[in-house]
Chain A
Amino acid sequence: MTVYNTATLKNKHIRQHATEAFKRQYINSDTYKNILEKHPVDLYTPNVFVKIGLGILTVFITFCTVGFIALLFNIDNLFKAFLIVMGIVCYVVLEMMAGKKRHYNSGVDNILMAGTVLFISTGLSLGYSVNSPVVLSLVTCIICLWLALRFTDRLAAIAATLTFLSLVFNACVDAGEFTISFFPYVLLLVSGCIYYFSGREERSVKNQVYHPLWQTISVIGLLAFYLSGNYYVVASLTEENYLLQKNSALSFPWFFWTWTMAFPVVCLVIGIQRKKLLLIRADVILIAVSVLTFRYYYSIVAAEAAMVIAGSLLLAASYLLMQYLRTLRCGFVFDNTSADDETENVEGFVIGQTLGGQSRHEQEAKFGGGSFGGAGAGSEY
């Protein structure tokens, strides 16, 4: 199914593991070189900055080409069909770039994928009676799923998961009043299944080709699982239209509040117990979301006071944890070593950007020596 050679993708996965093992000093350099030699990879994946540059240029080229062709053929009346054709053209170019030139996450293929989805879905949504949210999300989901499988792309996998959840939501709303009031529970069930099965596939050795995809879907599944029961999200979706408001899903508010506040904590405990760093990171974000949700409905103190309190608590908590984890505890540790130069440069950039502010010193008011003449005789003032 994938455009790339399956053996190459497997080799890529093995190489990543070998590199990690070499960094952790499990294997020596000879073994490492031997593994790399026996598992060649001929994919074109440039440096991250070149990737961004190529991505920007691809956006530019794509839009200029669309504009050029639109002008050349004067397609005012056929704009919707034209967009779909452009989406297909993007896909054909993508097949060539990935198939012949072996572009893999090079910036070019990522943008062409986005172009394919964007042009086709916009073309469909603008006309051809495909303005039903169910049909539109179904078509977009199928395109994203195909792109994810064909090009083993993480972003396409994320888009496929999200459009699938959107499809489920829209189907619930369209099905009737009974399913409307149950939509959060259906979403909970579906996203829970996505999380469970993607996690299982991620751990399986048979799926080395799609390993990055399963890993990404697993994280998205977890976030969706939480957000499907988050009070604010459910309330916002309920306000979408009259039918949703009439058959409000919030008839058991206690369930959603319990879910909003307890889920991240439970998951954090599980993450710590199972020593899953990805789960811990996701849970820290979810805890922040649950606090913000609570604050949105029950604002106890002003925003600035809340920021000072939260900031102080974060500083204190991180300091205490740093001290506590100086020695190995329950399998976790805080390495008190400084970061490498590249990381430090990035940190410096982020600090300058976020804390630097935008203020600039304006020149003092200058009072120049104006001249004047009597009775309006002079022109200067």
Chain B
Amino acid sequence: MNIQIFHQLHTEGLITDETLDKIKTGEANRPISLTRELKALMYAGVLLLTTGLGIIVYKNLDSIGHLAIVICIALAAACCFAYCAAKAPPFSFQKVDTANILRDYILLLGCMLLLILIGYLQYQYQVFGNRWGMATFVPMVILFISAYYFDHLGVLSLAIVNLAAWAGITVTPLHILQSNDFDDARIIFTGFGLGVLLLVLSFISLRRNIKAHFSFTYKNFGVHILFISAIAAMVHFSSSYAFWFLPLAGLAVFQFLEAKKEKSFYFLVITTLYFYAGISYLVIRFLFQTSFDEGALYLALFYFIVSGLVLALFLIHYNKLFKKAT
């Protein structure tokens, strides 16, 4: 803080002599918190260590003694879980305020080691035989249990990613489009099912007050996967694209009302943008239904300019409304 600003406020008569002294003394003796920086370093450590271990195991599948790898990783994972269990506060369905940040990261490390271990065991020893689904189902169950027992949002995210992997799709937001073949009806319907399931879980978490703070994470994954599946359905089932617009519209209206109720800027923006993508697809299909002529191209560009402006005004309007309400 710039103390001279407070001198200025003092001159303006907005703060007293005592307050100015309090600010000066407070700032001179204020400890600087390195919490964020150390947490970031610890997270970078977990990321580097698990990525490095994953590559080592992958590259040396045939050269290192298999048993040695299994024992080392299993021991390390067991130590991590044992440490977390020893330091864990009693289980509660409410949010547990942890005072031990280190435990959170050790748990994360343990979970990642566990995923590496199970993947390796399945690859090398086929412990689940040909039931490859079990290789994602088992870690998913362990991750969900860990997330709830140790109250960890990061592990919950990993569990949801594994749940989706078990169902056959990728849900990490930045890979959701590039890693899934949304031209496959099975993927689209799986997406619908998974999205609805996650939204229901979010609703239950909140309504029943079972780890209510997990609600956002479930909803975030659920909303993205549902919207993308709905738009993909419009594109895939091209003969009945207008019909497939209905679930998208229904979802958008529902999410918009929810966002309004919760005053959530985030859900307002993503709902608006996904719905706009759906409507635009509808308009473009309609314009180019007969032929790809210059007139249709002009109309399409004109539509994008006008609709973009309207949407920007819509966002500005709701931003003002939400700000007033909060």
A-to-B contact residues, CB < 8 Å: 13-14, 17-18, 20-21, 24, 26-27, 31, 34-35, 38, 44, 46-50, 52-54, 56-58, 60-61, 64-65, 67-68, 71-72, 108, 203, 205, 208, 275, 277, 280-281, 284, 303-315, 317-319, 321-322, 325, 328, 331-338, 341, 344-345, 347-364
Considering only residues 126-185 of chain B, those with a C-beta below 8 Å from chain A are 130-133, 135-136, 153-158, 160-161, 164-170, 172-175, 179-180
Is the Cβ of A361 less than 8 Å from the Cβ of B265?
A: no
Is the Cβ of A35 less than 8 Å from the Cβ of B14?
A: yes
Candidates A308, A348, A358; contact of B156 at CB < 8 Å? A348
Interfacial chain A residues near B304, Cβ < 8 Å:
60-61, 64
User: Which residue of the partner chain A has the closest CB to B26?
Assistant: A26
Is the Cβ of A352 less than 8 Å from the Cβ of B161?
A: yes
Is the Cβ of B8 less than 8 Å from the Cβ of A14?
A: yes
Is the Cβ of A352 less than 8 Å from the Cβ of B158?
A: yes
Interfacial chain B residues near A305, Cβ < 8 Å:
52, 56
Is the Cβ of B53 less than 8 Å from the Cβ of A308?
A: yes
Candidates A275, A306, A351; contact of B158 at CB < 8 Å? A351
Interfacial chain B residues near A108, Cβ < 8 Å:
312
Encoded as 1 (CB less than 8 Å from any A CB) or 0, chain B from 75 to 103 comes to 00000000000000000000001111110
Beyond A46-B319, A338-B97, 17 additional contacts (C-beta under 8 Å) are: A18-B9, A35-B9, A44-B316, A49-B270, A205-B5, A311-B46, A314-B42, A318-B45, A336-B100, A336-B101, A337-B35, A348-B154, A355-B50, A355-B154, A361-B135, A361-B136, A362-B132
With A and B bound together, what is the CA distance between A352 and B168 in angstroms? 17
Interfacial chain B residues near A58, Cβ < 8 Å:
312
Is the Cβ of B51 less than 8 Å from the Cβ of A352?
A: no
Considering only residues 215-232 of chain B, those with a C-beta below 8 Å from chain A are 216-217, 220-221
Is the Cβ of B34 less than 8 Å from the Cβ of A334?
A: yes
Given known A-B contacts A54-B316, A328-B31, A354 and B47 have beta carbons under 8 A apart: yes
Given known A-B contacts A322-B102, A353-B173, A358-B172, A60 and B6 have beta carbons under 8 A apart: no
Interfacial chain B residues near A345, Cβ < 8 Å:
153, 216-217, 220
User: Which residue of the partner chain B has the closest CB to A343?
Assistant: B36
B55 within 8 A of A: yes
Is the Cβ of B6 less than 8 Å from the Cβ of A348?
A: no
Is the Cβ of A352 less than 8 Å from the Cβ of B45?
A: no
Interfacial chain A residues near B135, Cβ < 8 Å:
361
User: Which residue of the partner chain A has the closest CB to B187?
Assistant: A360
B324 within 8 A of A: no
B70 within 8 A of A: no
Is the Cβ of A310 less than 8 Å from the Cβ of B34?
A: no
User: Which residue of the partner chain B has the closest CB to A59?
Assistant: B308
Is the Cβ of B273 less than 8 Å from the Cβ of A56?
A: yes
With A and B bound together, what is the CA distance between A26 and B29 in angstroms? 13
Given known A-B contacts A64-B308, A108-B312, A318-B42, A355 and B158 have beta carbons under 8 A apart: yes
Interfacial chain A residues near B51, Cβ < 8 Å:
304, 307, 311
B69 within 8 A of A: no
Interfacial chain B residues near A364, Cβ < 8 Å:
130-133
With A and B bound together, what is the CA distance between A21 and B14 in angstroms? 13
Interfacial chain B residues near A321, Cβ < 8 Å:
34, 38, 41
Interfacial chain A residues near B153, Cβ < 8 Å:
344-345, 347-348, 351
With A and B bound together, what is the CA distance between A361 and B171 in angstroms? 12
Can you name 17 A-B pairs with beta carbons within 8 Å? A26-B22, A31-B19, A46-B323, A68-B298, A68-B301, A68-B305, A311-B50, A315-B109, A317-B41, A318-B41, A332-B34, A348-B154, A355-B112, A355-B158, A364-B130, A364-B132, A364-B133
Interfacial chain A residues near B15, Cβ < 8 Å:
27, 31, 35
Is the Cβ of A348 less than 8 Å from the Cβ of B34?
A: no
Interfacial chain A residues near B32, Cβ < 8 Å:
275, 277, 331-333
